[in-house]
Amino acid sequence: MNAPRIAIVGAGIGGMAAAIALARTGAAVAVYEQAAALGWVGQAINLAPNAVRALDGLGVGAAIRGTAWRPTMRLSRDWQTGAITSRVEMAESAQQRYGAPMLTMHRAELIGALGAALPAGCLRTGHRLAAWDESGGEVRLRFADGTEAGCDLLVGADGIHSLVRQHLFGPDRPAYTGMIAWRMVVPAAAVAAARPDIDLTPFTKWWGPTPQVQLVHFLIGGGRDLFLFATLPAPEPARESWSQTGDAQVLRAGLAGFHPDARALLEPAREAYRTALYDRAPLAAWSRGRVCLLGDACHAMTPFMAQGAAQGIEDAVALARCLDGVGADGIVAALERYQRCRHPRASRIQKTSHENQFLKTQDDADWVYGHDAWNVPLAA
Ligand SMILES: Cc1cc2nc3c(=O)[nH]c(=O)nc-3n(C[C@H](O)[C@H](O)[C@H](O)COP(=O)(O)OP(=O)(O)OC[C@H]3O[C@@H](n4cnc5c(N)ncnc54)[C@H](O)[C@@H]3O)c2cc1C
């Protein structure tokens, strides 16, 4: 049996996780990324226990633990009264219950750890996929610079605006959620100096008066920095960008009715990044022939469960498990199996994230955090 040649388009979190997992099956993996170098957008990321457990199996868990923060709990609080409405123990409890803790970190630390674990020589930066076709038993890729490459399987890990998805299933557009997300990092010491009584160690979500208004905070950088994420309703901006900034004073005014403890966290913030939030309804199919989708390319979702990247990492593990021991002639059936394994769970999480009620008042986190991507039985 010849090892299949697998081309992954997109070196985001999903694409890199897939490259590491697929190379372990013996496949010859190439990752094509349009950017000139590995980079990241966004400041921080919360990796839920299901994501950390999957990353542990990829061998990157030790690297991210070195700099990450381990939240003591995952708390929900009422915006007005401050009452705790849901509490899930994290750290040691999550380690025992889910096999891994929750970890919060700078995005650059996760991207760096995944990049360092990539199989040697597999990353081809500066390669923007422009088109492909399936003929003569292989997939032929054409890049914007005129170069070409052949493979037995194309994995579209090219994000929310996926070209691969559009070529497979036709043009479409993600739906604007009506919300702008504000992201900012403040020194934890500045908050602690002003309000030493506020416990910054848990991951905390303050639920606002409507599902469109919320404030989330967690420590990153080993506890040095406090990351703040908030949303406010707003009309759709003309241009979508992760690097647009806004005055934190506008956010403070938008959250003026929040509990004093929540407002105190925003005090040191001066400038914030603003990002319009988009999501999608679940797709009917994730693959056709020898081409499949992975990560945001097939299940972009709102960030309210902190599961977007987690689901892409779970996809990567499942795809590798479905392709393990499969030659080039078994690829189509393996991709159909991958979809049967992953579609129900990712779609359920996509819908739940859209509704934005997860862990608002209940403590039932097990169905999300307890998933073990490496050992869950594969669908027939
Ligand atoms: C505000 C916000 C906060 C979030 N917080 C969390 C969180 O705390 N926890 C969590 O788990 N998730 C979170 N998410 C979701 C998470 O960021 C995404 O789900 C994840 O980054 C998607 O990874 P991906 O690899 O699928 O796609 P992407 O990260 O979008 O990567 C796609 C890659 O493909 C490349 N590409 C695109 N087109 C081409 C082409 N034609 N040719 C070559 N390369 C191409 C791009 O340059 C890019 O590098 C959050 C999302 C948002 C918006």
Q: Which token pair is 92? A: 């040691």
Which atom of ligand 1 approaches the CA of 300 most closely?
19
pLDDT (0 to 100) of residue 287: 97
Q: Which residues form ligand 1's pocket by a CB distance below 6 Å?
A: 9-15, 32-35, 42, 45-46, 51, 128-129, 157-159, 163, 181, 275, 295-297, 303, 306-310, 312
The CA 41 to ligand 1 mean position distance, Å, reads 8
CA–CA dist 208, 354 (Å, integer): 16
Q: Whose CA is nearest to atom 7 of ligand 1?
A: 306
pLDDT (0 to 100) of residue 244: 81
Query: Which of 220, 251, 279 is at the close of a domain?
Result: 279
Ligand 1 probe mutation, 129, 244, 296, most atoms within 8 A of CB:
296
The CA 25 to ligand 1 mean position distance, Å, reads 24
Domains in the chain, number:
2
Do residue 260 and residue 150 come from a single domain?
A: no
Which atom of ligand 1 approaches the CA of 45 most closely?
8
Do residue 153 and residue 181 come from a single domain?
A: no
Do residue 235 and residue 129 come from a single domain?
A: no
pLDDT (0 to 100) of residue 240: 67
pLDDT (0 to 100) of residue 172: 86
What are the strands, taking DSSP E only, across the chain?
Answer: 5-9, 28-32, 44-47, 73-78, 84-89, 103-106, 123-124, 129-135, 138-143, 148-151, 153-156, 175-187, 203-207, 214-220, 225-233, 244-247, 271-279, 287-288, 291-293
Is 145 domain-assigned? yes
Do residue 136 and residue 180 come from a single domain?
A: no
Q: Rounded to an integer, what is the distance from CA 299 to the centroid of its chain?
A: 10
Is 81 domain-assigned? no
Is 86 domain-assigned? no
Is 162 domain-assigned? yes
The CA 159 to ligand 1 mean position distance, Å, reads 5
Do residue 135 and residue 243 come from a single domain?
A: no
Do residue 16 and residue 41 come from a single domain?
A: yes
Is 204 domain-assigned? yes
CA–CA dist 304, 63 (Å, integer): 26
Q: Whose CA is nearest to atom 6 of ligand 1?
A: 306
CATH number of the domain at 252, please: 3.30.9.30
The CA 109 to ligand 1 mean position distance, Å, reads 15
Do residue 142 and residue 265 come from a single domain?
A: no
User: Measured between alpha carbons, how far is residue 16 from residues 29, 114, 189 in Å?
Assistant: 11, 6, 34
Do residue 140 and residue 258 come from a single domain?
A: no
Do residue 105 and residue 154 come from a single domain?
A: yes
Do residue 111 and residue 255 come from a single domain?
A: no
pLDDT (0 to 100) of residue 245: 84
CATH number of the domain at 313, please: 3.50.50.60
The CA 309 to ligand 1 mean position distance, Å, reads 7
Do residue 260 and residue 286 come from a single domain?
A: no
pLDDT (0 to 100) of residue 237: 80
Residues of the chain predicted below pLDDT 70:
1, 40-42, 240-242
pLDDT (0 to 100) of residue 252: 95
pLDDT (0 to 100) of residue 41: 66
pLDDT (0 to 100) of residue 40: 65
pLDDT (0 to 100) of residue 198: 97
Is 92 domain-assigned? no
pLDDT (0 to 100) of residue 260: 97
Is 94 domain-assigned? no
Ligand 1 probe mutation, 20, 34, 41, most atoms within 8 A of CB:
34
Domain residue limits at 43? 5-72+101-173+281-363
Query: Which of 243, 258, 279 is at the close of a domain?
Result: 279
Do residue 163 and residue 305 come from a single domain?
A: yes
